[in-house]
Structure 1
Amino acid sequence: MRTLSKAKEVAFLILFAALFSASSCSQTSPEEYNKLASEPALLHQTSKQLTTVIIRDIFKPPVASRIYAYANLAAYETMRLQSPDYPSLAGRIREFTPIPAPEAGKAYCYPLASIKAFIGVSENLTLSVEMWDAYEEDLDRKFKDMGIPEDVYTRSVALGDAVAKHVLDYAEKDNYKYTRGYRHVLTHTTGSWEPTPPNYAQACEPKWSAIRSFTLDSSTQFMPPPPAPYDLTPGSPFYKMVEEVYNYGKHPTPEQKEIAYFWDDNATVTNVMGHVSYLDKKMTPPGHWQAIVSTIARDQKLDMMQSLQAYTFSAIALHDAFIACWEEKYRSNRIRPVTVINQHLDGEWEPYLETPPFPEYVSGHSAISASAGKVLTYLLGDQVAFIDSTEYEFGHGVRSFTSIRDAYMETSMSRVYGGIHFLDGALEGTKQGEQVGEWVWAKLTGKPTKTKPKPKEDATKQIAVK
């Protein structure tokens, strides 16, 4: 067999590699690699990775909403450079300025830059950096297999990094650092919130209403009416709600238990076994709604830009609804059902769900779900049926819905079935969330809302008590 000298062998390999590289580049046009990179599967996969990291890092729900909003904002603003018909949010959301412009006359792969911007923000706002390092290695291989030329690849990554820095600089000024370290001072007045079993944790994010919103004029813009006065006189409105929650806890139907557990979305669930306790980590409410976006986007075969708009607009709605809701929670500072029932009705009663550590009125899950749901309904229509298997991996089952509104209405009642909210907290939380969602939609799109808010007297008809 004929053999080559070592020098000739090396020269041959270099020549072969060069020819192969040139051949590969000539066979992959900008249209081809951009088409491959624009497939939304990698976006959905990356969004799921962020949720996985948030669960691992045990971020509280309001904090999680902040991370989702900034990460999606970076990706959206980058991707719209390829789809300029979609509005830039610079000038539409508070204090946000245009992102760095790409270099004129140079080729970019904007889907690559968009996902890199998403990751750049995500890895800076989360803790488990090693999870992003491993994820990016695999992602880089997938992009390079698309035949993106090296100079385009490098330029696109640099653009994504620049946008991520721009958004992170924007996030730096939202008062998040100012709100760290604050503790809620208990008032010990009748009917006021106090820590709840089983772990009697300190109140969560008592200064969250000081976070800069994306669209709201102020955290008090959509104040709900005052909660029902604390009154344990039999027959009073408050006492009737206490009895209602108590009875759900004592005699729940299988469907009520299924609904409550499906929408639990408690980031950390306490398990107590004798003298030992441990935590289970699960999905947050904003993570659940971002997953719903992924489900609907796949079902509806939305392209990458359409999917990013749904992710981003709903994430901003989630974020701003948390601010409005938390403003009310720490103003009304209302007691939780478990505290009232244990003190006055039944010392052994336990809610079906673990009570989260913050005041009751209004329901946070109700508010943020309605806000995101309202935006998604405007964006995608009011007859979008879907099957939600978001938390199947956590043992919460699968549920189907005839519309997005159907889902967020069920979310609201789940809090009452679960024994952690009174009915007015759920109903008024839903109304507040819808109002925030209407506002967010108008601000982000410049379009008037398509429907008028429902009259106040119809609130109790919005959710059927099953």
Structure 2
Amino acid sequence: MKKSILKYFIFLIIFLISCTEEITNPPQIIQSPESSTFEASYALEWMNLTYDIVTLEDIPAPTASRFYGYCGIALYEAVCRGIPGSRSLGGQLRDMPQIPSPENELYDWPTVLAATLKIVATNILYQPQQFSIDMINDLYDEQIVNRNLEINETTVNRSIAYGEQVGNKIIEWSNSDNFLSTRDLPYEPPPRSNNPSFWEPTFPGQHALEPYLGTQKPFCMVTQNQCSVPLGIQFDTIPGTPFYYEGYEVLDKSMNLTTDERNIAFFWEDKAGTGQPPGHWVSITNNMVDRFSIKLDEAAKIYALVGVTIRDAFISAWETKYSVNLLRPITYIREYMGEPNWSELVATPPFPEYPSGHSVVSGGVSKILTVSFGDNIAFIDSTHNNEPGLRNRNFNSFYDAADEAAWSRLYGGIHFRSAILNGIQQGKLVADVVLNTVYFE
């Protein structure tokens, strides 16, 4: 009996000691190097690649906005776990699920970024060309090779696996944004016989571009028309009326353009074979990230805000465009101003006039960059420095650049004044929604 009691007490003591060890020696939390310890060049290389792909694939602006948007989000999600106190965008952006957290292991955030962006960039592209896939794979391989020189293979492989997990989750989410479901929907513009203010294609057989973009899910706006700004003037063809004046202004300006105004029209045309209007602002963002030598954590936040704003700006603009369905200056001037042979300086795009899409995205992103980098930041815009005939332009602030981008559409003969002024306002409203929705801490 005494031996049984003794065995019991010995067992109890051993048990209590083991419990004490578990309490006093909890599992060690492994700290990976923070995202702020890495240069922004890893992100910059990917965002430069998005511009190049849009250029080479000749992706139209509204579709390109989706590509830029998801890549910006993916970039942040890839590295945010390496930012102390940060929040994922999961649960903040519309219908975005929670992104899986990494395990309690060592991770390399540039490697996670490369793996995430490889998945997202490849799969967000709609029917990509093989050369785009090759470009994505080449950048991925280059960055992974470089990281293998810095850290051990086990950490690299673990980071790749986590990055792929993040990327696949983002792609799964993107499949529900109504983009794919609108690819083959037919669209017939309402006939102008019903309403002379209606838009019509510039030439027979021209197809409306992305008529259902305004039905796709935005990232931050509650509804697609949340930030829409009313036209504000009534369509009219009588000389002396406000609308007639706006048509006359386009006509008169086309006959009295200065050399600088012509240069402005072409500089901001952002036509096929460029990164398109949203890509122009990605290019400006890239220049700022490089100029201020910010770290990976801050660059990721900025690219997320810019990407989200670009996408929501285009959804907002396109919802308004196809709701208002206003005719273009070329139609108005030829039909109502006695100039049947009049032509614009830059080609009229195949979608309704109001508002100016370039004005909306410029108003939105210029506000994001002003909040991110500061007001009155003078800079040189070198977006088109490799294109013949287009010189770099100097600006005193991001708002200064946005205003010039907007007015370039009047100089080009493709927008009325109201579309420009109201477009800038609409874009800034989109930016306000983004800034009041997205929180990084």
Q: Partners of 2:365 and 2:85 in 1: how far apart?
A: 23
> Alpha-carbon deviations, 1:91-110, whole Å to 9, x = none?
22111122111111x11101
In the alignment, structure 1 residue 347 sits paired with structure 2 residue 340: yes
1:6-35 Cα deviation digits (max 9, x unpaired): xxxxxxxxxxxxxxxxxxxxxxxx86x988
Give the equivalent residue in structure 2 for 1:429.
Answer: 423
CA contact (8 A) 2:207 2:350 kept: yes
Normalised TM-score (structure 2): 0.87
Q: Call closer, same or farther: CA 1:240–1:330 in 2, change over 3 Å.
A: same
Distance in 2 (alpha carbons) for counterparts of 1:224 and 1:40: 37
Aligned to 1:390: 383
Which whole-Å CA distance do the structure 2 matches of 1:370 and 1:67 have between them?
Answer: 20
Residue 122 of structure 1 aligns with which residue? 121
2:228 aligned partner, one-letter code: M
- Per chain length, whose mean CA-contact separation is higher, i.e. which structure has more relative contact order (CA < 8 Å, sep 6+)? 2
* 1:58 corresponding residue in structure 2: 58
CA offset digits 1:277-318 (Å, max 9, x no partner): xxxx22211111111111111112211111111111011011
Q: After superposition, where does 1:168-187 map in structure 2 within 5 Å?
A: 168-186=171-189, 187=191
* SS of equivalent residue, structure 2 residue 82: coil
In structure 1, how many angstroms separate the alpha carbons of the residues matched to 2:83 and 2:326? 47
Structure 2 residue 274 is the aligned partner of structure 1 residue 282:
yes
1:222 aligned to 2:227?
A: yes
Partner of residue 333 from structure 1, selected from 325, 329, 339: 325
2: CA distance between counterparts of 1:225 and 1:307?
35
**Alignment match, 2:291:** 299
- Structure 1 unaligned regions, length at least 5: 1-29, 269-280, 448-466
Q: In structure 2, how many angstroms separate the alpha carbons of the residues matched to 1:446 and 1:392?
A: 34
Within the alignment, does 1:159 sit opposite 2:162 as a pair? Answer: yes
Alignment check: 8 A CA contact 1:321 1:367 kept: yes
Secondary structure of 2:380 counterpart = strand
How far 1:392 moved relative to its partner?
A: 1.6
After superposition, the C-alpha distances for 1:114-158 in whole angstroms (9 at most, x for unaligned) are 23212210011221312222333333332223x220000101111
Instruction: Please report how far the alpha carbon of residue 348 of structure 1 lies from its aligned counterpart in structure 2 after TM superposition.
Output: 2.4
Cα distance in 1 for partners of 2:168, 2:440 equals: 27
Q: Number of aligned residue pairs: give it.
A: 401
Q: 1:309-339 CA deviation, whole Å, 9 max, x = no partner? A: 1111011011111111111100110000111
Find the aligned partners of 2:206 and 2:384 in 1 and give their Cα distance.
25
Residue in structure 2 matched with residue 460 of structure 1 by the alignment: none
- CA shift, 1:60, in A, is 1.7
Question: What residue identity is the alignment partner of 1:249?
Answer: S
Matches within 5 A, 1:40-119: 40-104=40-104, 106-119=105-118
8 Å contact 2:208–2:350 — kept in the other structure? yes
Could you say what secondary structure the match of 1:394 adopts?
A: coil
User: What one-letter code is carried by the residue in structure 1 that aligns with 2:95?
Assistant: E
Return the alpha-carbon distance in structure 2 between the equivalents of residues 375 and 136 of structure 1. 28
Offset at residue 174 of structure 1 (A):
0.7
Q: Distance in 1 between matches of 2:221 and 2:178?
A: 15
Q: Would you say the 8 A contact 1:72–1:118 is kept in 2? A: no
Choose the corresponding residue for 2:202, options 172, 196, 202.
196
Matches of 2:381 and 2:42, distance apart in 1? 20
Distance 1:390 1:255 in 2: 17
Q: Do the aligned partners of 1:283 and 1:391 also contact (CA within 8 Å) in 2? A: no
Of 124, 134, 144, 2:138 maps to: 134
Contact preservation (8 Å) 1:209, 1:324: yes
Cα pair 2:376 2:396 within 8 Å, conserved: yes
- Helix, strand or coil: the match of 2:117? helix
After superposition, the C-alpha distances for 1:156-204 in whole angstroms (9 at most, x for unaligned) are 111111100000001011111121123332222312111115x862111
Distance, in Å, in 2 between the alignment partners of 1:316 and 1:244 is: 34
Asked if 2 retains the 8 angstrom alpha-carbon contact of 1:90 and 1:96, the reply is: yes
Is the Cα–Cα contact under 8 Å of residues 412 and 430 in structure 1 kept in the other structure? yes
User: Secondary structure of the residue that 1:48 maps to in structure 2?
Assistant: helix
Bigger mean CA deviation after superposition, 147-156 or 126-135 = 126-135
What is the one-letter code of the residue matched to 1:432?
A: Q
Give the conservation status (yes or no) of the 8 Å contact 1:196–1:357. yes
Partners of 1:363 and 1:380 lie apart in 2 by: 26
Whole-angstrom CA distance in 1 between matches of 2:202 and 2:303: 34
Name which of 412, 415, 418 aligns with 2:412: 418
